[in-house]
Amino acid sequence: MTEEIIIAGFGGQGVLSMGKILAYSGIMQDQEVAWMPSYGPEMRGGTANVTVILSDERISSPVLTRYDTAIILNQQSMDKFEEAVKAGGTLIYDPNGITREPARDDINTFKIEAARLAAESGNPKIFNMIVLGAFLKVKPIVILDNVEKGLEKSLPARHHHLIPVNVEAIRVGMTRVEKA
Amino acid sequence: MAEIKLMKGNEVIAEAAIRCGCDGYFGYPITPQSEIMETLMAREPWKETGMVVLQAESEIAAINMVYGAAATGKKAMTSSSSPGISLKQEGLTYLAGAELPCLIVDVVRGGPGLGTIQPAQSDYFQATRGGGHGDYHLLVLAPASVQEMNDFVALGFELAFKYRNPVMILADGVIGQMMEKVRLDEYVPRWSDADIERVAGEWALTGKRKERERHVATSLELDAYKQEEFNHKLQAKYRRMEEHDTRHEELSCDDAEYIFVAYGSSARVCQKSVQLCREQGIKAGLFRPITLYPFPKRPLQALSRRAKGFLAVEMSAGQMIEDVRLAINGTVPAEHFGRYGGVIPTPDEIVEALKRQIIKT
């Protein structure tokens, strides 16, 4: 199994940390993992994306142009990465902030209203965990127990009391993701 | 049990330095490698192992602090990125001339000049040809994963002391900024005075005792004949390095007709290109030099007897290709494909380049 994922959105949406938690979850499951951010003179509000690869084998390129799954969280990223999904691959997006729905019919498209759900819960910070939940429902490549362990590993101890809130947000994402 | 973590290449350099018993890090911040000193400062190893971490006033000050520490037989290191490494060249040639062991980490970014902060491999010539003045070489290790960023720190110090020569880890922005799973090493204690006496007692400046001659760390010799003799000694050392410590890796080369030659992050991208080629029925392989100096020319020569052609893939306008061509010596075609100035080649365009430049279909 090799899953090549791009997570793309705005800086500040938690794109990089979501990728990190996913990568740590992979480690908990004895997988090889790579996490490669776009880095550069970037700032809050600018675009941010990260490639995450989980595999049972040694990982080749951390820099890719085609992906098994694209998780798209703003219109700029939709413009850039919709075409980059492999045929038969998966696209997950949050319709909030999207002005043009994805159009491809050779891929599996799912939507998750993460921004709205996070806002309604009164805790906008759980946005990225709702998105992660949606991904894990569609692509159950790591089990929730290992994600929980991944959260423990990637968060400093002073934030461990937030893990239950995050796990709950993942469950919300798993329940609310829908086929687009 | 070994500790397994998800870490950036840069962070791992710092962690590995602490764990392998490094005595001192001297540096000056520059993107894309600032996490090395940031991690060291956050880890505060001076409380744990006694390792010194010092932000110098400049790159030049830092490399000269390395000279001072190395002269006493301590494990000393510095790190920087391309423009900062240029500033260190005077110090590096003096270190090579005084035969002092140390570790230099270069996380390369695009140039020339201040260039860009994005990854590049355009400093291959600078790293492998000496960089500073005089007939000298660094031993250059090129990691292609975060695990190798870890492994090459202890290995780098080992080789530096084995040959009394500066060793460089030549990485790039991809390897520095990427996070991967890494198995960290067990802690090795820093050397005691007795350890230094055992390892470096013949040359280290540890305070003159009555029973031995004075040790001098210098690269100055005004007598031309003596300096020539010293140069012979250096050249003999470089030949020993070539004989005993040339490293490379071959992937899918056994039946390969076409072989990519690439190091560092380009080698990772080429691994994907090999997969893509094989899916299309093209028998491709990857030859990955791990030591860039000494360059693994003999194994490459051996492959040239059965391969139809080589494509050197580098994030430069064509530097390592010269070593590839010297090794192959015109027996089969060897071409170069590069993206540069901070651009990373994609797996697909490398496959296209192979078809266009070597297979010619």
Do residues B109 and B32 lie in contact, with contact meaning Cβ atoms separated by under 8 Å?
A: yes
Complex-level ipTM: 0.93
Instruction: Using alpha carbons, select from B8, A34, B163 the residue that is nearest to residue B16.
Output: B8
Side-chain-side CA neighbours of residue A180 (13 Å):
20
Per-residue DSSP letter, B82: H
**pLDDT score at B212:** 92
Residue A41 has pLDDT above 80, yes or no: no
Cβ contact, residue pair A65, B181, below 8 Å: no
Please state the domain extents for chain A. Answer: 2-179
Confidence of residue A42 (pLDDT cuts 50, 70, 90): low
Cβ contact, residue pair B344, A33, below 8 Å: no
Q: How far apart are CA B324 and CA B309, in angstroms?
A: 11
Task: Tell me, yes or no, if B277 comes closer than 8 A to chain A by beta carbon.
Answer: no
Q: Residues 6 or more apart from B203 whose CB is under 8 A from it?
A: B73, B99, B164, B215, B217
**Pairs of CB atoms within 8 A across A/B:** 72
Task: Tell me, yes or no, if B33 comes closer than 8 A to chain A by beta carbon.
Answer: no
**pLDDT score at A153:** 86
Interface of A with B (CB under 8 A): 20, 23-24, 26-27, 32-37, 39-41, 59-66, 153-154
**pLDDT score at B132:** 96
Enter the pTM of the model. Answer: 0.96
Do residues B247 and B263 lie in contact, with contact meaning Cβ atoms separated by under 8 Å?
A: no
Q: How far apart are CA B48 and CA B164, in angstroms?
A: 28
Top pLDDT among A40 and B316 is at B316
Instruction: Using alpha carbons, select from B125, B30, B133 the residue that is nearest to residue B91.
Output: B133
| B178 CA: distance to closest CA in chain A (Å) | 5
Task: Tell me, yes or no, if B288 comes closer than 8 A to chain A by beta carbon.
Answer: no
Sign for the CA dihedral angle at B45, B47, B48, B52 comes to: positive
Determine what percent of chain A is predicted with pLDDT higher than 70.
96
Task: Tell me, yes or no, if B114 comes closer than 8 A to chain A by beta carbon.
Answer: no
The residue whose two tokens read 């990427």 is: B178
Residues of A in contact with B173 (CB under 8 A): 39
**pLDDT score at A44:** 62
Residues of A in contact with B274 (CB under 8 A): 60
- Best probe of the B interface among A61, A66, A146, by most B CBs < 10 A, is A61
Considering the segment(s) A2-179 as one domain, its CATH architecture is: 3-Layer(aba) Sandwich (3.40)
pLDDT (tens digit, 0 to 9) for every residue of chain B, 361 residues total?
689 999 999 999 999 999 999 999 999 999 999 999 999 999 999 999 999 999 999 999 999 999 999 999 999 999 999 999 999 999 999 999 999 999 999 999 999 999 999 999 999 999 999 999 999 999 999 999 999 999 999 999 999 999 999 999 999 999 999 999 999 999 999 999 999 999 999 999 999 999 999 999 999 999 999 999 999 999 999 999 999 999 999 999 999 999 999 999 999 999 999 999 999 999 999 999 999 999 999 999 999 999 999 999 999 999 999 999 999 999 999 999 999 999 999 999 999 999 999 999 7
Q: How far apart are CA A159 and CA A167, in angstroms?
A: 13
Report all structural domains of chain B as residue ranges with CATH numbers, in order of start: 3-184 (3.40.50.970), 250-359 (3.40.50.920)
Q: How far apart are CA B10 and CA B31, in angstroms?
A: 11
Comparing A8-12, A22-26, B26-30, the range with the smallest average pLDDT is A8-12
Nearest-CB residue to B179 (from A23, A41, A64) = A23
Helix (H, G, I), strand (E, B) or coil at B286: strand
Residues of B in contact with A59 (CB under 8 A): 180, 268
Q: Give the mean model confidence (pLDDT) for residues A64-88.
A: 96
**pLDDT score at B1:** 60
**pLDDT score at B247:** 98
**pLDDT score at A155:** 87
